[in-house]
């Protein structure tokens, strides 16, 4: 035997030559094997985790879809309920509006019928003569006073028996306070017995009648004063018109026939006497002042004739003056005589008086046709002289 000793090799190494590698290589192979095993295990776990996550996601998605469906159904139900409530409220509101409209239309028709009846009554009352209206007014006042007197007896107790069926009294046409007192002093039937008014009642009645007569007199005096003022204003109107325009307005009135026809014609021509004056004259005629009325009508007709004569003469003079003025202006325009302007605004003697409104506001002719006419007349007179 040699000096070197041989190592004994186990049988497993001989049978597995790959195991003869170093220890590091063996460890690497072992780690790779363990990693492969662990990776396989992790893959299985990951697959299981992914499957669980997918299951949870699908479940949550299904839950969200179910919740969304429930919300959609609840919202749809609430919207339908809200629409139903709105439709019901609108129907109720339309019903209320229709009822109010029908009530308003009914009230309007009733008011229109009432106004139409009142208007018809007013027209019927206006168509009646002044004498009928005055007689009805006196009769109404008399009946009111009589009912006031019959409301109590002579001893102060009220008369509660059957109403008086006697015909209404007709007052005298020209009854004064004394006549009315004598008329009311007659016994009146009340409660089936004759009851005469007392002295105090007669005194009160006389005071009422006198007060009514005073009111009528004041109304008549006021109407006469108004007529006087209107007549004076109508008489002053031609002079004012002449001062403004330089010539009066023409007013012609034909005086024909009797005194009454003359009064009617002059009223149509000059409109001096208004409807109130005509009604007052007719009332005075119906009341009975015939002689005084004819005297006033005659005096009025004479005044109107005199005024018409003055107006006709003044209008004739004004017309002749205007004709001469126009003829002179036409002659000057035909001959071409140079005439300077009357003002800085360019107005000449041939300008229209209505064009003074276009002058400057500091011009003497601004909206003053009368001053322009006077200036033109002055220029024409200086040329003629």
Predicted confidence (pLDDT) per residue in 213-262, tens digit = 888 888 888 888 888 888 888 888 888 777 766 544 444 444 334 444 44
Give me the residue label for tokens 């990776």.
39
For residue 115, CA distances in Å to 104, 112, 121, 123 come to 16, 5, 10, 12
Q: Where residue 371 falls among pLDDT bands split at 50, 70, 90?
A: confident
| Residue 273 within a domain | no
> Reduced to 3 states, what is the DSSP secondary structure of residue 168?
coil
Count how many residues are written for the chain. Answer: 385
Q: What is the pLDDT of residue 242?
A: 77
| Residue 343 within a domain | yes
272 and 230 in contact (C-beta within 8 Å)? yes
Indicate the number of domains in the chain.
2
| Residue 280 within a domain | no
| Residue 283 within a domain | no
> Reduced to 3 states, what is the DSSP secondary structure of residue 22?
coil
Cα–Cα distance for residue pair 123/133, rounded to 1 Å: 13
| Residue 81 within a domain | yes
Task: Give the global pTM.
Answer: 0.22
- Percent above pLDDT 90 for the chain: 6
Lowest-confidence range among 93-102, 186-195, 197-206, 362-371? 186-195
Q: What is the pLDDT of residue 19?
A: 56
Q: Which of 48-52, 150-154, 274-278 has the highest mean pLDDT?
A: 48-52
Q: What is the pLDDT of residue 78?
A: 92
| Residue 170 within a domain | no
Cα–Cα distance for residue pair 324/330, rounded to 1 Å: 10
Q: Which of 97, 121, 145 is the last residue of a domain?
A: 121
Mean pLDDT, range 330-351, rounded to an integer: 78
Q: What is the pLDDT of residue 151?
A: 62
For residue 253, CA distances in Å to 120, 279, 307, 316, 337 come to 36, 22, 10, 14, 42
For residue 234, CA distances in Å to 36, 63, 254, 259, 307 come to 137, 103, 18, 21, 11
Give 321-334 pLDDT, tens digit per residue: 676 677 777 777 77
| Residue 226 within a domain | no
| Residue 229 within a domain | no
Angle (nearest 5°) at CA 96 between 93 and 99: 150
- Whether residue 101 is predicted with pLDDT greater than 60 in this model: the reply is yes
Structural domain of 362: 338-385
For residue 104, CA distances in Å to 39, 96, 109, 288 come to 94, 12, 8, 52
Q: Kind and range of the H or E element at 348?
A: none
Q: Extract the tokens encoding 126.
A: 């206006």
Q: Which of 73, 96, 121 is the last residue of a domain?
A: 121
> Reduced to 3 states, what is the DSSP secondary structure of residue 145?
helix
Q: What is the pLDDT of residue 252?
A: 40
Q: Which of 84, 99, 121 is the last residue of a domain?
A: 121
How deeply is 81 buried, as exposed, middle or buried, from its count of CB atoms within 10 A (0-12, 13-18, 19+)?
Answer: exposed
């Amino acid at each position: 035997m040699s000096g070197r000793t041989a190592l004994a090799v186990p049988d497993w190494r001989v049978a597995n030559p790959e195991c003869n590698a170093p220890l590091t290589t063996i460890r690497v192979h072992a780690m790779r094997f363990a990693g492969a095993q662990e990776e396989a295990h992790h893959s299985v776990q990951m697959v299981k985790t992914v499957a669980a996550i997918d299951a949870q996601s699908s479940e949550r998605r299904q839950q969200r879809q179910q919740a969304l469906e429930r919300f959609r159904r609840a919202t749809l139900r609430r919207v339908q309920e809200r629409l139903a409530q709105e439709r019901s409220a609108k129907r109720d509101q339309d019903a209320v509006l229709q009822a109010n409209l029908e009530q308003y239309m009914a009230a309007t028709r009733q008011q229109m019928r009432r106004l139409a009846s009142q208007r018809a009554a007013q027209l019927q009352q206006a168509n009646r003569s002044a004498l009928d209206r005055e007689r009805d007014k006196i009769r109404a006042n008399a009946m009111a006073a009589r009912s006031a007197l019959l409301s109590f007896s002579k001893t102060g107790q009220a008369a509660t028996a059957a109403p008086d069926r006697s015909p209404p009294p007709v007052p005298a046409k020209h009854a004064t306070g004394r006549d009315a007192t004598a008329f009311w002093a007659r016994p009146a039937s009340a409660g089936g017995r004759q009851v005469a008014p007392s002295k105090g009642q007669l005194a009160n009645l006389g005071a009422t009648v006198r007060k009514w007569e005073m009111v009528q007199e004041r109304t008549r005096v006021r109407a006469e004063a108004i007529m006087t003022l209107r007549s004076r204003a109508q008489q002053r109107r031609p002079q004012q018109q002449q001062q403004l325009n330089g010539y009066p307005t023409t007013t012609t009135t034909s005086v024909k026939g009797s005194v009454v026809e003359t009064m009617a014609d002059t009223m149509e021509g000059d409109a001096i006497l208004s409807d109130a004056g005509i009604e007052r004259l007719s009332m005075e005629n119906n009341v009975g002042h015939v002689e005084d009325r004819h005297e006033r009508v005659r005096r009025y007709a004479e005044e109107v004739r005199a005024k018409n004569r003055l107006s006709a003469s003044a209008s004739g003079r004004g017309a002749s003056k205007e004709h001469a003025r126009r003829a002179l202006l036409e002659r000057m325009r035909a001959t071409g005589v140079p005439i300077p302007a009357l003002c800085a605004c360019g107005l000449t003697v041939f300008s229209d008086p209505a064009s003074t409104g276009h002058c400057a506001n500091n011009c003497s002719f601004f909206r003053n046709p009368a001053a322009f006419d006077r200036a033109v007349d002055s220029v024409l007179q200086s040329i003629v002289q």
